[in-house]
Amino acid sequence: MLLGAAALSLLAACGDERPPLAQNLSADALPSTANAARGRQLVSNHGCLACHSVPTVRGPASAVGPPLDNLGRQAYLTGLLPNTPANLVRWLMDPPAINPRTAMPNVGLSQAESQDIAAFLLSLPKGQEAQ
């Protein structure tokens, strides 16, 4: 009986297909004080490039974390959290609180800094080269 329940749970999990891409999110849902230019600078200053490739920001080539050029089209953040501007801000403020198994550290971003970074990431055109 227990084995049957486990098999049923496994099959149910296999049928849970999440779409990899959503409609392109925009920063419009963020507060008007969110500033993409400040967010771009924060990405550089807080070491995000040590793990992520970020279009328009020069830095070392890294593949530890996912590239962030298509973030606004992902259906989920960290595979768990629906991708909305508000959830992106929450994630940036404290990734381990959302997903304790993440490799992304809490770098001590304030809510305003997280909003600025979210505004920047959501403003990125897909496939733009670093400048």
pLDDT at 25 over 90: no
- Residue 14: per-residue pLDDT: 42
Map out the domains of the chain as residue ranges. Answer: 19-123
Give the mean pLDDT of 35-50.
94
Token readout for 119 is 């505004």
Enter the tokens of residue 85.
């501007």
**Structure confidence at residue 128 (pLDDT):** 46
Q: Residues 55-81: what's their mean pLDDT?
A: 86
Please give the average per-residue pLDDT across 10-19, as a whole number: 43
How many CB atoms are closer than 10 A to CB 113?
20
Answer yes or no: are the C-beta atoms of 40 and 56 closer than 8 Å: yes
Query: Both tokens of residue 24?
Result: 């392109």
Mean pLDDT of 48-77: 87
Number of Cβ within a 10 Å radius of residue 49: 19
Match 């971003």 to its residue by tokens: 109
Q: What is the mean pLDDT of residues 31-42?
A: 94
Superfamily of domain 19-123: Cupredoxins -  blue copper proteins (2.60.40.420)
Which residues are registered as beta bridge partners of 74? 21
Q: Which amino acid is at 75?
A: A
Determine the Cα–Cα distance for residues 5 and 43; give it in Å rounded to an integer. Answer: 46
Q: How much is the pLDDT for 56?
A: 86
Q: Is 15's pLDDT higher than 60?
A: no
Say how many C-beta atoms besides its own lie within 10 A of residue 117's C-beta: 27
**What tokens does 104 get?**
């992304």
By mean pLDDT, which of 6-10, 56-60, 76-80, 87-91 is the weakest?
A: 6-10
Residue type at position 33: T
* Mean pLDDT, the chain, integer: 80
